[in-house]
Amino acid sequence: MFDLNDRAALVTGAGGGIGAAVAEAFAHAGARVLVSDVDEQAAKDVAERIGESGGIAEYAALDVRDAAAAAEVAERAAGLGGGTLHILVNNAGAISPAMFPDLEEEAFRRIVDIHLMGSYACSKAALPHLAEDGRGRIINVTSAAGLQGTIGQANYGAAKAGIIGLTKSLARELARRQVTVNALAPLAATAMTENIRSNEKLAAKTLARIPLGRWAEPAEIAGSFVFMASDAAGYITGQVLPVDGGTVI
């Protein structure tokens, strides 16, 4: 049920962290993966690591805000599946924390553009290539910040909340094509959480809100993406799955 053989996947923001772990997990499950990231060298390193472990992967530089580039990368990813793209993971992200009185418009727009507009652009680019035989998947990455709000990152929280709305709307629209659209809200020890984990006070407060009392490694998160991409999740759409040690209950 979790076999991804003969499927092509595009993962954005896959040069490190959760994205890299997801790309590797997909390849391990049999998918042919296009690893994309704004950092081309990072994407190349992940693709080469997948190849060295026996998987099939290519890489591409992609700024998800660039719709034309997204279209080119989606077409390349579909080429790995003989012209069909089976799985899109909208994972690319960034942070620009500031308390609201100090949050500049440029920083607000940049984060919304990367997360929300990037998910829009890549989903739009992928749509002409997505499988319509029940195996087509769009998997968006949101956050507890989008479900509950957050302090010091109103831009990030707003973008992640927007992704939830996009997910639910696309799920309703694309069901007629037998394409499922879901979102995962992960929490892991990555570069994006380093500012929290490296601050003793913030780290302690965050751990106190995680019932399991620890940070996950990206590889622990990746299995939930494999599940959502697989036949096991074929009757799930429009849902948000927190993978966060119980932070959102």
| Catalytically active residues, by annotation | 156
Confirm if 48 and 22 have CB atoms less than 8 A apart: no
Q: Could you give the CA distance from residue 90 to residue 126 in angstroms, rounded to a whole number?
A: 11
Q: Residue 140 forms beta bridges with which residues?
A: 90, 183
CA nearest 116: which of 165, 151, 73? Answer: 165
The H or E element that residue 22 is part of is: helix 17-28
Per residue, the 3-state secondary structure of 67-82, as one string, reads HHHHHHHHHHHHHCCC
Ranges assigned E (strand) in the chain: 8-11, 32-37, 56-61, 87-90, 136-141, 179-186, 240-243
